[in-house]
Structure 1
Amino acid sequence: MSATLSFPVPTPHGPQEATLSYARVGAGEPLVLLHGIGHHRQAWDPVVDILATEREVIAVDLPGFGASPALPEGLPYDLATTHAVLGGFCSALGLDRPHVAGNSLGGLLALELGRQGHVRSVTALSPAGFWSESERRYAFGVLAGMRATARRLPLPLVERLSRTALGRTALTSTIYARPGRRSPADVVAETLALAHAEGFAETLRAGRDVLFTDDVPGIPVTIAWGSRDRLLIPRQGARAKRVIPGARLVRLPGCGHVPMNDDPALVARVLLDGSRPQPSSAASTSLSTVAL
């Protein structure tokens, strides 16, 4: 069910209250889902019902995105602050070292939670932070362009475009390999989420100097990359494997940057497998496809 939660967050100026919107469903070990920049928790909807057969699934709107309000004035949208907010959120919900999975920005945040030992496992889908400088500039330029377009388009035009496969392709082909599969209502909702995301500009600005360079030892880590990711190109997965040599690196054939809609069954399998103990052979796994 959809809900909101307010909780204290430690800051250099003392505790401040943050509020996050989230949805919680299913039973089993808890699995927290984190979306990418400009998106919202509904990005996970194609896989939630599958995951909920084995996990208690908590899909979160990050601060300043979706239905979550902006951070308190003066708090930066950087990695450290968002990490503290997510830690406070998990504590307030009574989640003791949950599994965590994230896409893009959410994947980076999931890895940071894993690096600091706050979660049981990490599954990162096309995580940010493994780019070269030219790749980062390209991705940030594309994201800024998508945001500008979403803010410019009048709602009646977005609704009209969403009714056809060609229109859905025009609106979402940057992040989906199979945009025609996205429902009209979902396309409208995520276009509005991108246009209205209060935290977008500051989050993008804070990401300019971000690189993930530390190992994540002691817990299962899965890094998965869509073979048709047009935003963060798949060769970044090989870099991620070099940084985190014990990670299982998985190829998602035919999937784009946000793969949950392109192949829900495959992505759900990757997430469930990623939150199980990994065999010792996983550390030596190269870029491969999960067998279904």
Structure 2
Amino acid sequence: METNIDELSSQLSTLTTNSEEIPKLDHRRPLSTFHLPSMSSCPMATDDNNHLLIFHHQRLILFQLPTFEILFFIPTGTFTNCQISDICFYTVSNCFLLASANTIYSLASDRSIELFQKFSNTIWSITYTSTSIFICYLFGASIEQWDFPSKSAFLVNSWVKEDLLETFDQGINCIRAVNQFIGMTVKERNFSWRIDIFDSLTMTRLRRGNTIQQENGLSNWIGILFPIDSFRWLFADGDEGLFLINQTDEQNYQQNNIMKIACNICLLRDVNTRQYNAIVVQSYEVLQIFDVQ
């Protein structure tokens, strides 16, 4: 069933979060575990019906949550010879969007895959608001805003890296939107991360995040966001772990590490209350789902 994006944004914004509401997960028993070895930030996304779609070793796998029952898998070679760089669930059309090279494909509930739109450059990350789809190109070289009225494509705006980042920032890995806000994981000069928040209407920076250090000289590009609401974000950074970022207090941003290893994350909503009640965490070898209520 299709979900109205404004209703979804309202529901997200009412969720209150603090460091105690998503406790440290390392010593908690997961609701379910699925072993899927050799993962390093595999793209994945959840929909509104407790499904998880993940790209792993040239296959798209759709799971039923919370049991991780495999509903189907699709070899990506049937529609593209390139890797899947990002996945999001697009509530406007009630389908998953798959970014591959310079192309976005749609995956519908009947398993049909169609070409959604071709773009000018290699796509690195995708997200959307109630009106637009935002495309982040390779390492954040540029970001474009597109509207799709009546199944046509219309470029609304474009920003190059220099419009968005500071002089010594290296690039952008992941963009995610909620409530007309866009969060970006920014790779800083010393390979550490920063979570900056932008106004999607003007692409002006609203909040500059604090630096999240990478220890032991690590320089990976695993830096994935998931929005809880406009001020609270989950951030997965591989060996550095999973962080709960709280930017509600402008004078004192909070960054709490809640898991030691996390390469990607998704929140799962209760199908009846539509409130978040579980978190899916991807590590290098397993998918796990934890109750967070």
What TM bracket, shorter-length normalisation?
Answer: under 0.3
| Greater fraction strand | 2
| TM-score for both structures, normalised by structure 1 | 0.25
